[in-house]
């Protein structure tokens, strides 16, 4: 994957995971759909996903800066 693709994926994933972690978007959506019983397990998925996407963004930025300094 290219540096631009990694960075785009990392930023979009971070924004979506942060939005779902810090706002009641998924709680309301799950309640409307009838999956309110799964709301207790959202933190088990969303927090590691947020961490993964933050690390992916940092890695993409590091890789991008390394390639620019070589050129």
Half-sphere exposure of 65 (CA within 13 A, CB side): 5
Q: What is the pLDDT of residue 21?
A: 82
pLDDT value at position 50? 94
Residue whose C-alpha is closest to residue 13's, from 24, 5, 3:
5
Report residue 32 as tokens. 């409307």
Domain boundaries, the chain: 3-66
Would you give per-residue pLDDT tens digits along the chain (71 residues)?
788 899 999 999 999 999 888 888 888 888 899 988 888 888 888 899 999 999 999 999 999 999 888 86
Q: What is the pTM of this model?
A: 0.81
């Amino acid at each position: 994957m290219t540096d631009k693709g990694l960075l785009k994926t990392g930023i979009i994933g971070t924004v979506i995971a942060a939005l779902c972690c810090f706002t009641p978007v998924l709680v309301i959506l799950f309640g409307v759909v009838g999956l309110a019983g799964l709301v207790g397990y959202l933190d088990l998925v969303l927090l590691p996903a947020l961490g993964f996407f933050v690390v992916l963004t940092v890695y993409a930025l590091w890789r991008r800066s390394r390639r620019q300094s070589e050129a």
